[in-house]
Every structure is written in structure tokens, then in C-alpha cells.
Amino acid sequence: MSHTSREKNKLLNRVRRIKGQMEAIERHLDEEKGCAEVLQLIAGVRGAINGLMGEIIEDHIRHHVADGKLEQSQRDDGALELIDVVRAYMK
């Protein structure tokens, strides 16, 4: 996805924050913290992952599905790629 390179730093920063959140979950589990605290951290990671996924899906739609400069076959391919990813994500 070459179009993600324009937002590369922004996306990498989001991934690094998610990595930090995951490390916090690991620490909490290692330190045997309360389950409510761990669940809150997990909920935060889930929200962060969903936000990252949403941002990349939006970018994919704009550049591979809705771009009127693309041929219809390219747009169809972009839509099929997106459908496959969304189905896998929702399992």
C-alpha cells in the first residue's frame, strides 16, 4: 500500500502506542493486578486497534474504491480486497 507512506509516521506512532498498551497488559498480568484493571487495558487496546483499522480502511476506500480516476476493474478489485479483509476482521 504505497499510499500509506504519506501517513507512515502517523500510523507508526499509533502502532507504537498500541505496543505500549500491550506491554502494560503484560506487566499487569505478570504483577497479578486485578482483572478489572486488565480488562480496562484490553478494552483500550481493542479501541486503538479498531481506530487503526478504521483509518486504513478509509484510506483504502479513498484510493482503491472511490477514486474516479481508476478503471472500473481496479475499483472492483479494491472493493473485493476490502470485503475479504473486513470479513476476516469480523471473525
Contact 75, 23 (CB under 8 A): no
Range of the domain at 62: 2-90
What would the pLDDT profile of 26-54 be if each residue is shown by its tens digit? 999 999 999 999 999 999 999 999 999 99
Contact 4, 56 (CB under 8 A): yes
Q: How far apart are CA 90 and CA 84, in angstroms?
A: 10
Number of domains in the chain: 1
CATH number of the domain within which 43 lies: 1.20.58.1000
The pLDDT of residue 5 is 72
Q: For the residues 60-82, what does the mean pLDDT come to?
A: 95
Q: Which residue has the cell 478489572?
A: 36
Q: How far apart are CA 66 and CA 60, in angstroms?
A: 9
* pLDDT tops 80 at residue 1: no
Contact 11, 49 (CB under 8 A): no
* pLDDT tops 60 at residue 7: yes
